[in-house]
């Protein structure tokens, strides 16, 4: 069995760490986009409910 030199193992580990960081950043960005979309939809729903309530008070 031939073992890779330590420098190659370190470089491979760094590449895996960088890939994990990138994946986590992409996941965080996707979550932030979904949160913003949900927040916008909730604002629209609350506004629509406010309109319904206001019409009922007249």
Other beta carbons less than 10 A from residue 33's beta carbon: 10
- Rounded distance between C-alpha atoms, residue 42 and residue 50, angstroms: 12
In this predicted structure, what is the pLDDT of residue 57? Answer: 78
pTM equals 0.66
| pLDDT digits 0-9 by tens, 3-52 | 899 999 999 999 999 999 999 999 999 999 999 999 999 999 999 999 99
| pLDDT digits 0-9 by tens, 9-21 | 999 999 999 999 9
């Amino acid at each position: 069995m031939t073992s890779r030199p330590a420098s190659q193992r370190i470089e491979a580990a760094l590449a895996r760490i960088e890939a994990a960081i990138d994946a986590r950043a992409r996941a965080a960005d996707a979550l932030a986009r979904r949160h913003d979309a949900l927040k916008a939809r909730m604002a629209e729903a609350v506004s629509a409910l406010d309109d319904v309530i206001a019409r009922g008070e007249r």
